[in-house]
């Protein structure tokens, strides 16, 4: 069976060595030694100044919206994972969709200003498949209209734009450390924020609002993660270069062997050092996609329709038509991409696809 992704498991003895530290410390949660070490190592790896690791990748979005959304309208993309939109609604804000660029698949920055109203408080945009948004233009728009910018960078661990981490852009960036991601802690996520005062609010908000054991800075929830998750992160991080290189080889194979006279793939924004997090392909029609997917499934190959449906179409959102996002969502699929995927498996995948679209 070839799934769309496969969790990277570090050598078990590496994880066991980290577990022995936990047993020695007798400390399982509440920002223990392993978590603090992991935060420091990630800061060094990414060249970022701060990180707050949390128990999943959705909580950082929710906390950012709680603090910056102010129950207002949030301009966002319809082409993302459902957590982007559901977090807006969960925090009692209103999603206002702006269509996407047909090549980069990120929010179309040229359409943002037309969606701004007196109720708009923030922009929540997604770096789709690790492909950066047009961060410069979004920043200009946000400053002009006094809006906050939150980036859902769930797919973007290791991505650099103009020689610095993509997490350094916006007021807040969030990331997922889910088991399906190239860097993971089993479950987990992180929040990045360069402003010291805002970072302080984000920090205490993920820790019940605590200011020491008996006092409180303000309102908070529990977003903390455990030493067990940190142990997995410490075990995975040393292999990141190998993971990215392996995924790059898979991407290069697809690029060289798929029939791009018929298919299309994502256009990576200029000045980007990409992380090879996903491999989306666009068919000419949904019918063609369904036909190919059926044959792949019959051969025990299971790509996935990221992101379908377009989020303006989900049943708890009264979204207006987003023609580009809806069109892309109907005919895009992500092919298997993970560490250790073999050339013979890639040959089977590409052979089936090319045969069925010819």
Residue 237 CA to residue 183 CA, distance in Å, equals: 7
Give 10-residue mean pLDDT values along the chain (358 residues).
97 98 97 98 97 98 97 98 97 98 98 98 98 98 98 98 97 98 97 96 96 93 97 98 98 98 98 98 98 98 97 92 98 98 98 97
State the CATH class of domain 239-357: alpha beta
Under DSSP, is residue 188 helix (H, G, I), strand (E, B) or coil?
A: coil
pLDDT of residue 97: 98
Residue 358 CA to residue 344 CA, distance in Å, equals: 21
Assigned fold of 2-238: 3.40.640
Q: What would you measure as the largest C-alpha separation in the chain, in angstroms? A: 68
Residue 223 CA to residue 204 CA, distance in Å, equals: 10
Residue with tokens 């980007």: 272
Residue 3: strand pairing partners: 302
pLDDT of residue 319: 81
User: What is the chain's alpha carbon radius of gyration, rounded to the nearest angstrom?
Assistant: 21
Helices marked H in 184-239 — which ranges? 196-205, 227-236
- Does this chain's domain 2-238 share its CATH topology with 239-357? no
pLDDT of residue 343: 97
Helices marked H in 69-224 — which ranges? 82-90, 135-145, 196-205
Q: Which of 45, 48, 61 is nearest to 233 (CA)?
A: 45
Q: What backbone phi and psi angles, to 5 degrees, belong to 118? A: -60, -15
* Domain locations along the chain: 2-238, 239-357
Residue 7 CA to residue 183 CA, distance in Å, equals: 9
Residue 288 CA to residue 293 CA, distance in Å, equals: 9
Whole-structure pTM value: 0.96
Q: Which residues contact 24 (CB under 8 A, 6 or more apart)?
A: none
Report residue 147 as tokens.
């809006």
Residue with tokens 């990414």: 46
160-161, strands of its sheet edge to edge: 164-165, 160-161, 272-273
């Amino acid at each position: 069976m070839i799934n769309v992704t496969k969790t990277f498991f570090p050598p078990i003895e590496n994880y066991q060595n980290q577990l022995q530290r936990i047993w020695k410390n007798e400390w399982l949660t509440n920002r223990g030694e392993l978590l603090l070490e992991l935060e420091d190592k990630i800061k060094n790896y990414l060249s970022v100044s701060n990180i707050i690791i949390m128990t999943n990748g959705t909580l950082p979005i929710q906390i950012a919206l709680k603090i910056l959304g102010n129950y207002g309208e949030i301009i966002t993309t319809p082409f993302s994972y459902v957590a982007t939109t559901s977090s807006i609604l969960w925090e009692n804000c209103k999603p206002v969709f702006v269509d996407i660029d047909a090549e980069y698949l990120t929010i179309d920055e040229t359409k943002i200003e037309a969606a701004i109203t007196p109720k708009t408080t923030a922009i929540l945009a997604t770096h789709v498949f690790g492909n950066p948004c047009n961060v410069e233009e979004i920043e200009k728009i946000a400053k002009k209209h006094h809006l906050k910018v939150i980036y859902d960078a769930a797919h973007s661990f290791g991505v650099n734009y103009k020689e610095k981490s993509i997490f350094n852009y916006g007021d807040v960036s969030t990331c997922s450390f889910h088991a399906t991601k190239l860097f993971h802690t089993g479950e987990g996520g992180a929040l990045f924020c360069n402003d010291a005062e805002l970072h302080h609010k984000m920090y205490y908000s993920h820790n019940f609002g605590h200011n020491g054991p008996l006092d409180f800075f303000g309102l908070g929830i529990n977003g903390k993660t455990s030493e067990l998750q940190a142990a997995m992160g410490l075990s995975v991080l040393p292999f990141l270069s190998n993971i990215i290189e392996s995924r790059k080889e898979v991407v290069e194979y697809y690029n060289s062997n798929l029939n791009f006279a018929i298919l299309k793939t994502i256009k990576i924004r200029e000045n980007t050092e990409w992380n090879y997090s996903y491999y989306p392909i666009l068919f000419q029609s949904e019918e063609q996609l369904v036909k190919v997917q059926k044959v792949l499934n019959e051969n025990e190959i299971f790509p996935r329709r990221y992101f379908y449906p377009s989020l303006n179409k989900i049943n708890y959102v009264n979204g207006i038509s987003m023609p580009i996002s809806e069109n892309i969502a109907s005919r895009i699929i992500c092919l298997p991409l993970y560490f250790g995927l073999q050339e013979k498996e890639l040959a089977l995948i590409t052979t089936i696809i090319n045969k069925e679209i010819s």
